Amino acid sequence: MIKKCAFIVFLFFLGCSPVEISRLFGVGTAPFKTEGKIYSFTCNQDIFTCYNEIEEGLKSLKVDFYRGSRRKNFIIATNFNRVFPSCSSSTEVAVFFTETGKLKTKVEVSSLNHNLSEFAAAALWDYFEEDRVCDFKEESFSKSKVEKK
């Protein structure tokens, strides 16, 4: 019985690409930081609140939560093609959270599709501005005000 289970698990991993296997184990966010276009903004809330609000913002866009970790402070979402036609359903957007001080969280939005990265950052910013859940250092949103790296 154990051999059969091990064989099934082996076949499963054999069918997955190495990249997908690494993603199953929570690895593989480095390309977003090294190759992706990163837009960032600072929220005057704790990291937990920002994480929850970004999740809600992504749900409001009707995109899919692909994977994430509160402990590692990141979210990866897919299916932006529902709201941004210039990408495929598998194109990913990563959101990283860094606590920069008491009640200060830096939110970084990145994708390997640079136009999607800008769109997602703008959409999440708009979500916060509309619901007034976070106070930002800028008073109003424009794409030029989102910090580009």
Residue 74 inside a domain? The answer is yes
| CATH code of the domain in which 46 resides | 3.30.310.220
How many domains is the chain partitioned into structurally? 1
Q: Could you give the CA distance from residue 123 to residue 100 in angstroms, rounded to a whole number?
A: 23
Residue 30 inside a domain? The answer is yes
Q: Could you give the CA distance from residue 77 to residue 59 in angstroms, rounded to a whole number?
A: 10
Report CA dihedral (134, 92, 65, 119) to the nearest 10 degrees: 40
Residue 10 inside a domain? The answer is no
Residue 131 inside a domain? The answer is yes
Q: Which domain holds residue 113?
A: 26-148
Q: Can you tell me which residue has the tokens 């997955």? A: 16
The radius of gyration of the chain's CA atoms, rounded to the nearest angstrom, is 17
Tens of pLDDT, residue by residue over 21-31, are 555 554 578 88
Residue 137 inside a domain? The answer is yes
Is the pLDDT assigned to residue 40 strictly greater than 80? yes
0.85 exceeded by the pTM? Answer: no
Residue 101 inside a domain? The answer is yes
Residue 8 inside a domain? The answer is no
**Structure confidence at residue 97 (pLDDT):** 94
Tens of pLDDT, residue by residue over 65-122, are 998 989 999 999 999 998 998 888 888 999 999 999 888 888 899 999 989 998 998 8
Q: Could you give the CA distance from residue 128 to residue 18 in angstroms, rounded to a whole number?
A: 37
